Each structure stands twice: as structure tokens, then as C-alpha cells.
């Protein structure tokens, strides 16, 4: 929070902050650990999913008490990477259908009821998952009304051309923006 305050004070224009969760507490996960290949226990609409959605609101509440607001949150950082990550990485695995249901039944309504005007972004993973992921989530009218845009990572961009992923998704869902939210170099040791 002190670093965010310094950055906000130094900026000549407003900073738009977004947050993206890596994992839920161990007691909410199928593997009983914040690390590794676990999913949220149960299914959308149950006590685990509602409680996880409420964690988002508590997070926003606590930062707001310290005069830090978030422009957006993502439903999950790299939800499919949760199936592929090394066992020590903190993550939650979601399929597109699981993310759709979580957004439609739990996270979307929780954000809408909250006092926060924080936008909700979906996917937050490699663009190789587009347009399929968007079709599953945004193809559901309930989920789509809560989602402002799609968060995308660049690591596997060389595998799929932008026309087949970004452009195809934009043509299908022009009212939802596409935003790159994560990128770095040096993640492949052979490059």
C-alpha cells in the first residue's frame, strides 16, 4: 500500500489498478493446499464459491479503507495453468465453464451488490484459449453482463496468429475489450 500510494502521488494522471488472484485459502481447495493443482471445492453457487467471491469484496473493502481503489479484478490468474503448474505454484484451476458459472452465480453478483465500481475481467490466461474461452463465458448472457473485458497473456502468442484469437474474439464480442495483463521476457530458458 505505501508503494501504491507513492506511485499514485507521482503519477501526472490517474493510475488504473487491477488485481488478479492466484489462489484461495487451502480449506477452500480440492487439494487442501494453496499450492498445486487444486480447484475450488464444490460447484458454483455453493458455500465455497460464495465465500471466495466475498474474499474479492473484502479485498476491495480493505484497500478502499486505505484510499486505494481498483479499476478491475480478474476472476483468476491463469486458470488453465492451474492444471499444468509445478506443485509448488499457488493456483486454482478453472475450465471455461467453471469460470462462467463462478462469474454468473457468485463473483458477478457479489461485485454488483458491492459499493465498488470495479470492473470484472475474465480469462487472464494465454490468448491461445481464444475465442473458445470467450464463447463459453460470454455466450452466457448472465455471465456476459458482469464481464467488462478479457485479460490476455502473451507467452504463447507465437503459436496462434492474432487474427485467429484476438480478432476473431473481437468480432464475436465487440462490446468486451481485450487487454494484455501479463507479459515478460526470459520465461523460456532457451531464448
Residue with cell 463473483: 107
Give Cα separations from 151 to 7, 8, 118, 126, 154 (angstroms). 23, 23, 15, 9, 10
User: Phi and psi (nearest 5°) for 91?
Assistant: -165, 165
Q: Indicate the helix (H) or strand (E) that contains 6.
A: helix 2-10
Locate 186 and state its grid cell.
526470459
- The catalytically annotated residue of 33, 157, 167, 182 is 182
- The catalytically annotated residue of 36, 78, 134, 136 is 78
Q: Is 78 a catalytic residue?
A: yes
**Residue 106 near residue 61 (C-beta atoms within 8 A):** no
**Residue 137 near residue 143 (C-beta atoms within 8 A):** yes
Q: Is 62 a catalytic residue?
A: no
Active site residues: 78, 182
Amino acid at each position: 500500500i505505501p508503494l501504491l500510494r507513492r506511485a499514485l502521488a507521482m503519477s501526472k494522471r490517474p493510475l488504473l489498478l487491477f488485481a488478479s488472484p492466484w489462489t484461495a485459502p487451502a480449506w477452500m481447495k480440492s487439494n487442501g493446499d494453496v499450492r498445486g493443482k487444486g480447484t475450488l471445492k464444490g460447484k458454483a453457487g455453493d458455500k465455497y464459491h460464495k465465500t471466495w467471491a466475498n474474499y474479492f469484496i473484502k479485498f476491495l473493502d480493505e484497500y478502499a479503507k486505505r484510499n486505494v481503489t481498483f479499476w478491475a479484478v480478474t476472476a483468476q490468474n491463469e486458470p488453465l495453468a492451474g492444471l499444468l503448474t509445478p506443485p509448488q505454484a499457488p493456483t486454482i484451476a478453472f475450465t471455461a465453464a467453471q469460470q462462467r458459472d463462478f462469474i454468473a452465480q457468485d463473483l458477478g453478483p457479489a461485485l454488483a451488490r458491492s459499493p465498488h465500481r470495479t470492473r470484472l475481467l475474465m480469462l487472464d490466461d494465454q490468448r491461445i484459449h481464444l475465442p473458445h474461452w470467450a464463447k463459453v463465458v460470454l455466450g452466457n448472457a448472465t455471465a456476459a453482463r458482469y464481464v467488462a473485458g478479457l485479460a490476455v497473456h502473451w507467452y504463447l502468442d507465437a503459436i496462434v496468429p492474432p487474427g485467429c484469437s484476438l480478432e476473431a474474439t473481437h468480432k464475436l464480442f465487440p462490446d468486451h475489450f481485450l487487454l494484455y495483463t501479463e507479459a515478460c521476457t526470459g520465461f523460456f530458458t532457451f531464448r
